[in-house]
Amino acid sequence: MKAYVTVMPKNGVLDPQGKAIGHALSGHGFAGIGEVRVGKVIELELAEIDPAKAKAAAEEMARKLLANMVIESFKVEVR
């Protein structure tokens, strides 16, 4: 089973990568772009076959290691 952990900066946390990408997109003629935020997606291959247990395990991994809980939030999707 695969779990996907999406980690993003929390609202209010400075995101210089997002600012740079937003500026570059504007420079390339893309209009109507609001705030741009940059995060990461971590794909985990898990041996667990129970979706609820796999999600709980991935959430624990995110809290303990994959996300900096002070400045980042995360969400987990299991497929």
pTM of the model: 0.90
For residue 68, tell me if it sits in a domain: yes
| The pLDDT of residue 10 | 97
Task: Dump pLDDT digits (tens) for 37-68.
Answer: 999 999 999 999 999 999 999 999 999 999 99
CATH label of the domain that carries residue 50: 3.30.1280.10
For residue 55, tell me if it sits in a domain: yes
| The pLDDT of residue 4 | 98
Q: Percentage of the chain with pLDDT > 90?
A: 100
Domain count along the chain: 1
Q: Mind spelling out the 3-state secondary structure of the chain?
A: CEEEEEEEECCCCCCHHHHHHHHHHHHCCCCCCCCCCCCEEEEEECCCCCHHHHHHHHHHHHHHHHCCCCCEEEEEEEC
